[in-house]
Amino acid sequence: MKRLIIFTFVLISGLASAQEEKANPREFEMTEGDTTYVMKQYFMLIYLSGDNKEEISKEKSAELQKGHLGHINKMAEEGAVQMAGPFGDQTEKRGILIFDVDTKEEVVEWVSQDPLVKAGRLKYEIHPWWTAKGSCLE
């Protein structure tokens, strides 16, 4: 697995400019020795603490959190989100979502409906992210 991760980072570094010159397809094949990887582009969204820091009631906080989790579940049910989860430390970076959609604009459309984003409690950054198709966590 480490070899695959290292290969992926080297691959992306070396091919980033070549991909920008093309129409930037979401998939391409790469061969290393006798192994061929189908690389696929996803979008990684990183949730960050929002600018709205005003005190709210526990009830309102619970309502926003319930809506936030419900929205993530809806995106997953509709196939837009493939993986999601919070970070385990208490920093400005709050969690990630991995989107399997065609464009960054689709990610923005989806995430702009998140109740915590709408309330200013979360903001986000989005990055194109490549990995070998079929990769999974164990």
What homologous superfamily does CATH list for 2-132? Dimeric alpha+beta barrel (3.30.70.1060)
Residue located via tokens 């995106």: 75
Q: Which amino acid is at 127?
A: H
Does the pLDDT value for residue 10 go beyond 80? no
Categorize the per-residue pLDDT at 138 as very low, low, confident or very high, splitting at 50, 70 and 90. confident
Residue 106 has pLDDT above 90, yes or no: yes
Give residue limits of the domains in the chain: 2-132
For 22-70, what is each residue's pLDDT tens digit?
555 788 888 888 888 889 999 999 999 999 999 999 999 999 999 999 9
- What's the CA gap between 35 and 29, in Å, rounded? 10
* DSSP 8-state secondary structure symbol assigned to residue 121: S
